[in-house]
Structure 1
Amino acid sequence: MKLVRYGAAGSERPGLIDASGQLRDLSSHIESLDAAQLTHAALEALRAIDPETLAPVEAGVRLGVPLAGIGKIVAIGLNYSDHAAEAGLPVPQEPIVFMKATSSLSGPNDPVRIPPDARKCDWEVELGIVIGKTARHVSRETARQHIAGYVLVNDVSEREWQMERGGTWDKGKASDTFCPLGPWLVTADDIPDPQNLAMWLRVNGELKQSGNTRTMIFDCETIVSYCSRFMTLHPGDVVITGTPPGVGMGMTPPQFLAAGDTMTLGIDGLGTQTLRVEAYEHAAQEA
């Protein structure tokens, strides 16, 4: 099942994608697509709805972040050995954990804005795990019971702020628009093997990243179990699982994003994103 939120930013409505690819409105059944809809019972109720009874939505409507009220975004670094090599860093013996701010969330086709004074903005296609059941000190063997589904994520990063400014990685990961998420939340039953998903990213049409989740150092169940030892994972939390090689920082010479660039990216079964890069001063500013 592919669940979405669509409409203007701040006014999104719940929807689903039917078997033909048609977006249909779910607001006659639920008010919002949020953590309350991620329980086993709630997802079963949504699966029982005949999509033909739902009003179709016109093509071209904006898609938002496919889940409202995300509580936290937990991220795993250097989770592909070849990406660690291109970054010049050792393969981690345990998952590297950092956080992305929820204020960095944006829709799957919304602009990515380069912050003032940023010089080394980079791309990272990643698989995201959506938590559906509270996970606290769970075993790897039971971890999948706590996963509601999966999403496509671009872990946009400012490498100077991440690597050269001291402290943790978080400040290079947390800027507004640095976490495009979606287009869909795909429920776990539709992704029987999350460790065999092809993934790719292009910048201005040029292929930069091409990989597969089977080369992750720590798989999804291990990541959920590991993170649950250090923090409680609540329904609606998102855990992003690392990126394959091909990021701009690892190229010779390094390549970074500039205003006017376009990123396109995708993961098998999870849809695609198209992201125009803008300079911050060209973006609409909040009062």
Structure 2
Amino acid sequence: MKQGRIVWNGGIHHVRPGPDGTVVLADGRQLSEQDVQWLPPVEPRTVFALGLNYADHARELDFTPPSEPVAFIKPAGTVIGHRTITRRPADVTFMHYECELAVVIGKTAYRVSKADALDYVAGYTVANDYAIRDYLENYYRPNLRVKGRDNCTPMGPWLVSRDAIRDPGNLRLQTRVNGVVTQEGTTADLIFDVPTLIEWLSSFMTLSPGDVILTGTPKGSVDVKAGDVVETEVEGLGILVNTIVSDEQYFASKQ
């Protein structure tokens, strides 16, 4: 099952995919997906992000692949929905996307074993966790300016139920910039897979319904500029679309 959230006609609605680029409201009405304002498919409680969770991406950044998960927490204001905009600051030299499988926790998890970990998952979605390499400082990355900026993590468009994804450890990922494929990978190459991450996180803290785990990105990150349209896709979950804008465009949209 796929479910999304939109703002339309002054209210928040849960929708499902319809034919030919439409979304279907609970009462059966169909709307064009381009004529609505998209929200993240879930309202995240806490967002956990994994750094360097693909060996090829770690080497791409000149880091040694980690021997245990490198995790950090992202502010709520980073997360935005499908078909939204993300700012590229004027003074940066390298800003890149990160196509990621996002795991949504469905029930309280504490000291969960790998064998039982997927039972605590509500579903999965697509995330694009933008980073600015200019701001990287050390192994304990990313600092707040790299990953804590407003609107830097589009998520969606759909929450896909756990039962609809047979194996989260065998999904293809792809990123396209202005229609050109720039990144390809598979979750089979995760250093720490989904059950391992849930076991590890829940070994020292409680995971709650609505928590989201961003599992990392493979190699293939390229610089994106204002005006670029970035599509991140995870097999079976859908295509997440986001547009990069300049400072002027971004701040004008806030007025």
Q: Give the TM-score, by structure 2 length.
A: 0.90
User: Greater strand share, 1 or 2?
Assistant: 2
Q: CA deviation at 1:24?
A: 2.1
C-alpha distance in 1 between matches for 2:65 and 2:220:
16
Q: CA deviation at 1:190?
A: 0.5
Does the CA contact (< 8 Å) of 2:171 and 2:234 recur in 1?
Answer: yes
Q: Match for residue 30 of structure 2?
A: 57
With over 3 angstroms needed to count, the CA separation of the structure-2 counterparts of 1:10 and 1:80, relative to structure 1, is farther
C-alpha distance in 2 between matches for 1:118 and 1:241:
25
Q: Deviations over 1:203-244 (max 9, x none)?
A: 222221101111111110111111112322110011000101
Q: Match for residue 183 of structure 2?
A: 209
Q: CA deviation at 1:152?
A: 0.3
Q: Give the TM-score, by structure 1 length.
A: 0.81
The runs of 5 or more residues in structure 1 that have no matched partner are 27-53, 249-255
Q: Match for residue 67 of structure 1?
A: 42
Percent sequence identity is: 36
Look up the SS of the partner of 2:84 in the other structure: coil
Q: CA deviation at 1:19?
A: 8.7
Q: Match for residue 253 of structure 1?
A: none
2:156 aligned partner, one-letter code = G
- Where does 1:36-185 land on structure 2 (aligned, <5 Å)? 54-59=27-32, 60-62=34-36, 63-68=38-43, 70-115=44-89, 117-161=91-135, 163-164=136-137, 168-171=141-144, 172-185=146-159
C-alpha distance in 2 between matches for 1:222 and 1:160:
31
C-alpha distance in 1 between matches for 2:147 and 2:23:
31
With over 3 angstroms needed to count, the CA separation of the structure-2 counterparts of 1:158 and 1:9, relative to structure 1, is farther
Q: CA deviation at 1:166?
A: 8.8
C-alpha distance in 2 between matches for 1:128 and 1:85:
22
The runs of 5 or more residues in structure 2 that have no matched partner are none
C-alpha distance in 2 between matches for 1:117 and 1:196:
38
Q: Match for residue 280 of structure 1?
A: 247
1:133 aligned partner, one-letter code = K
How many residue pairs match? The answer is: 251
Look up the SS of the partner of 2:163 in the other structure: helix
Q: CA deviation at 1:15?
A: 1.7
Look up the SS of the partner of 2:30 in the other structure: coil
Q: CA deviation at 1:56?
A: 2.3
Q: CA RMSD in A?
A: 2.2
Q: Match for residue 12 of structure 1?
A: 12
C-alpha distance in 2 between matches for 1:209 and 1:237:
27
Q: Deviations over 1:40-70 (max 9, x none)?
A: xxxxxxxxxxxxxx322212333221113x1
